Amino acid sequence: MPDFSPSSSRPPQVGRRTLLGAAAAATAAPVVLGSASRAAAVPAPRKKPRALPGGGDLGPNVLVFDPSTPGIQARLDEVFRQQESAQFGTGRYALLFKPGTYSGLNAQLGFYTSIAGLGLSPDDTTINGDVTVDAGWFNGNATQNFWRSAENLALVPANGTNRWAVAQAAPFRRMHVRGGLNLAPSGYGWASGGYIADSRIDGQIGPYSQQQWYTRDSAIGSWLNGVWNMVFSGVEGAPAQSFPNPPYTTLATTPISREKPFLYLQGSEYRVFLPEKRTNARGVTWGNGTPRGTSLPLTQFYVARPGVSAATLNQALEQGLHLLLTPGIYHLSEPLRINRANTVVLGLGYATLIPDGGVTAVKVADVDGVRLAGFLVDAGPVNSPTLLEIGPRGASRDHSANPTTVQDVFIRIGGAGPGKATTSMVVNSRHTIIDHTWVWRADHGDGVGWETNRADYGVVVNGDDVLATGLFVEHFNKYDVQWFGQRGRTIFFQNEKAYDAPNQAAIQNGSTKGYAAYRVGDAVTSHEGWGLGSYCYYNVDPTIVQHHGFAAPVRPDVRFHNLLVVSLGGQGQYECVINDTGSPTSGTSTVPSTVVSYP
């Protein structure tokens, strides 16, 4: 996203987003027993660390309301004033509402702010009012409304329609809107989103200027329009398949899904609900009241607070505790090592992990049923070979009955300061589900430049039978996605090639002009993708040519449906869509070139 200055009173310079409108502590020390001579002869036993407690207070940045809480609106407004334009700030907040009915509220959400109900069903917590995302801070441009979320609430919008004008990393999950939903900012300015799952929108969803969107396992009254790439899977009321005009990709069901874990109250006790896996899913999980799944008491979680060491977090994991990361920033001197099946790591309020000294932030063993959800990994200034690893190299166990899920886990390289990582996310474990991620090499903010925040690869999938639902990966120096596992599937992909390539030579890939946004390995015999888009905006050198957005071996079981590439205002060009197939993008018209079916 181009670095438009929000402080300017003038409209941003013509760039990628302009064209959207035009297009529509530590282990204890050893204790020595006995005499000095004995101590010299016999190694002293190491005292076992004191067991860490489970449960506890959620900390100062988790604000919990009930219908009798005084001054709710004033507190919401205070958080919004702090977070509205703090795109790369350090503030993190979770706004939690106990079951009941609230009236006359307008919860405006800024950066790193999550709002959620604490019932088992969205209908347990009703706000007669709105949960609003708009773009006044950015002159009506919604394309940088990142890192905020809404979950597990029922809304009765004040004027009948709730405004949710978001960009990437802004999920709308388990929501019931008793009215319509407007995905565009006031004035219908530029917008680039987005993701809805397990939600019911009784009225119409109007994306208006949104260039792309993915909706999964939901129910909607109707859908108004599409710009470039609107994808639906398992959505009751979705528009019929019609790509490219209108640009709707519609699957009747989602092959496999398992909704994100969430915090709720049972009486006065906090618990975490773990929804069960569904196959061929369609519609919401909570339609008949209580969703299906299991739950864990908060006493089985180590409730982490910012400033805790990685050693302590790993001690908690070794004890058999799950992790609840309360809002804030966590520096890691060693990886979080998740070695136990069915471990849950759940972040609140965009809890952020920063690996120090070039370590990997999170490493997951080749075990069943790990659930990673709701946190941000921010690369540190020393290059990390990887930031997130799901399974070790060579992982081969069958996890089909109980897969690992990665949900609303976002990765950032640069932007908040210098950061580097060779590869951001590596998936080695079979049957992993990546359900909504934004993996972003920053194109604006601090610590940004072709070599300053160098990151060659976004997502690398080595495991077989991996499914991605809602895959957003942008701006990597080389390949954004490389997929080497067999029988992989992706439903919805959004990509932008790195804006800041200095010249053609910098992206030359052997004899090929540029690195594909999404590459399937030469040895893969089975792969499938639906609704995949790649955009280029080579604003440093607009003469750069990208041969194609997608690359894959030509085999009957390597199949793609509804692909597009877009040259934004002629700042660089694509020659083809996939391999040598598809028309080149032309001129400055910002019109997608599409391939409906390949091969």
| DSSP per-residue string spanning 80-143 | HHHHTT-TT-S--EEEEE-SEEEEEEEEE--TTEEEEE-SSSGGGEEEEEEEEB--GGGTT--T
> How far is Cα 182 from Cα 180, in angstroms, rounded to an integer?
7
Catalytic residue among 236, 451, 496, 575: 496
Sign of CA dihedral 394, 395, 397, 398: negative
Q: What residues form DSSP beta bridges with 560? A: 529, 598
Q: What is the Cα–Cα distance from 403 to 410, expressed in whole angstroms? A: 19
Task: Give strand pairing partners of 125.
Answer: 100
3-state secondary structure of 447: coil
E strands within 442-521?
457-461, 467-474, 481-483, 488-496, 508-509, 512-513, 518-520
**Annotated catalytic residue 496:** yes
Let me know if 64 is exposed, middle or buried by CB neighbors in 10 A (0-12, 13-18, 19+). middle
Short-list 552, 590, 554, 584, CA closest to 570: 590
Nearest to 212 by CA among 18, 586, 578, 496: 496
Radius of gyration of the chain (CA): 24
Q: CA 189 to CA 162: how far, in whole Å?
A: 17
Q: Is 234 exposed, middle or buried (0-12, 13-18, 19+ CB in 10 A)?
A: buried
Active-site residue set: 496
